Structure 1
Amino acid sequence: MAKVEVKQLLEAGVHFGHLTRKWNPNMAPYIYMERNGIHVINLYKTVAKLDEANEALRKIAASGRKILFVATKKQAKDIVAEKVSNVNMPFITERWPGGMLTNFVTIRKAVKKMASIDRMKKDGTFLTLSKKERLQVDRLRAKLEKNLGSISEMTRLPGAIFIVDTMREHIAVKEAQKLNIPIFAMVDTNSDPRPIDFIIPANDDAGKSIEVIMGAVTEAVAEGLAERKAEKQGDKEGKEEAKPKEKAAAPKAEKEVKEKVEAAPAKEEPKKKAPAKVKADDLTKVEGIGPKAAEALVAASIATYADLAKAKPEAIKTILTDASPRLAHLEPASWPKQAKMAADGKWDELKEWQDNTKGGVEDSEE
């Protein structure tokens, strides 16, 4: 991962904050000084926070979860759309649809409507409509494409959300908070950094500043995707190679074992091996569990899907509350059910369930 230098940030104007009279006091730790009535951001802290955010984004991308990018301000929308399209991640640059996260099922229905219009055009049903109806359908399709076209591939809630200008996108911040989705954001001196999980103190108004930060962020996401692709390819090749090797090695191994058993002294007993350490599953694949909640569960010896499937929601709630007050609002009622499907390998069934839920709560209306 290429590290961004302070000089590069300085040249892009990342250090320019807002007027001192517009500042948010919670940004004080990230402000270096005041000059000509404008706050100057400490770029050394920006570099440190950017590296921390990039590492977390790389891990999320490598796990296969989507990262939703949000930037509706004029100077950011084109830059974000261009950079994010290169890494095939969803983004919102036109307008934040209210309930985009908290009412995700309804948003998915709108996206499916767009797909159904496309099917109508392919199978010829569209041509059977009157001229006026075709015009109305075309307008609806264009409107949906403009607002939701970039998230058509996002079939479930994202693993994280990246925001440019938290003041402008305050509704997105509130929705992500409610669903415990990790929030990454460029935060200027006039914004409140407290709701943000991964802060990148930076000028969120200048095009050059946004471009350099987005360049570093999307590069980290691309690395995570490359890691995931390499891991999948390696697993596939390993399985194919293992089959013939196992068949060829079986007779030889049986002979060696037989010789060792016969040659071993009668009185000696084999030493007992220490029990193998159980490898933790990726609990964030359960809807409603973020990285912090997963850490708390693993620390409480709930490391696998099987462990989580056996746990009671009340006990899980106690573990989360003891771990951090910020996790106390989570509702783990559906987690054992989801974990049971994951433990049984029913991934398609789990994905279908998650597509029809609102933040881990089953949707009774269809």
Structure 2
Amino acid sequence: MQQTKIAILGAGFIADIHFESYHRFVPEAEVVAVYARDGSKARAFAEKHNIPQWYDDIDALIGQSGCEIVDICLPNFLHAEVTFKAAAARKHIIIEKPLAVTLEEADAMIAACKSAGVKLMYAEELCFAPKYERVRHMVKEGAIGDIYMLKQGEKHSGPHSDWFYDKNKSGGGVLMDMGCHAIAWFRWMLNNAKAVSVYATMATVYHKGRTVCEDNSVVIVEFENGVTCVAENSWAKHGGMDDRCEVYGTGGVVYADLFMGNAAVAYSKNGYGYAMEKADTTVGWSFTIFEEVFNQGYPHELKHFIECVQQNKEPLVTGEDGRAVLEIIYAAYASAGTGKKINLPFHPKVNRPIDLWLDAQKG
């Protein structure tokens, strides 16, 4: 079997998920190297997963590791810089959400990959999650008539790494972290229909002492085909991960929950496991997921990209899709700041999307 050589950039939570996905579900891929800014973390990750090479120098990895694909699992503010370097070295790129911090970065990244003739895939796993894909196929088969509303929500009590809470590294809070999933999934369900307006409200309700970023948001996106979409996202929801969608049609309705139905229901007075170190997610009732990696579609998206590289096919979710998601995020921050509906296209020049909300609050 032909194997494509992968370098994982990053050594945190999402990098672990990507490695597990390759190792368990994608025999066409071979992870040959890992990079982390902290060399000790890169080495520990490599030893944990028996990866032959580790680097704390991104230029050395790109030039020496022999990889054909770089899988970018780094903080948001590094996405553009690393993409430019990988494209210049003719490496194909799959990149975790969001595509970039700014629209200018997104446009430059897309242009760089096109100029270099390399593939760029925006890693939106909800477009590959088995339950959500079953929902999409039911809709395509006419099971619920014409769609008039979509809802998607992802909620938990906060991210795994400190950088998410730093607006200078993340560009924003829960909307940048998880709202991007909902927006990408709406476009996926609607065959990339054009979004025409956005209305949003957001606040920092739980992590006030830790971040100026929003930790709870509701975003309403109206599309040109008349469908209304509602994204609900939170870092303030206790009791573990919640990820579900609702599809409303003229002939029926479909609900899908990525985790319920594939969980062990438990009650713990004191909590258990790693989660005790960071939050209260295992105190009281919890729904322990035994196959999170598979349920969320990570193996499926990575396997798809390997196939695209090996067979010279266009990825189903592209850099342009990631750019479209980012533009809607801009509009959502602006709407939350002004209290008004924002029409698209919308491309103000800002350093970070969240500035469109924070600056408005300053008056």
TM range (shorter): under 0.3
Higher strand share: 2
- Structure having the higher Rg: 1
TM-score of the two chains, using structure 2 as the length reference: 0.22
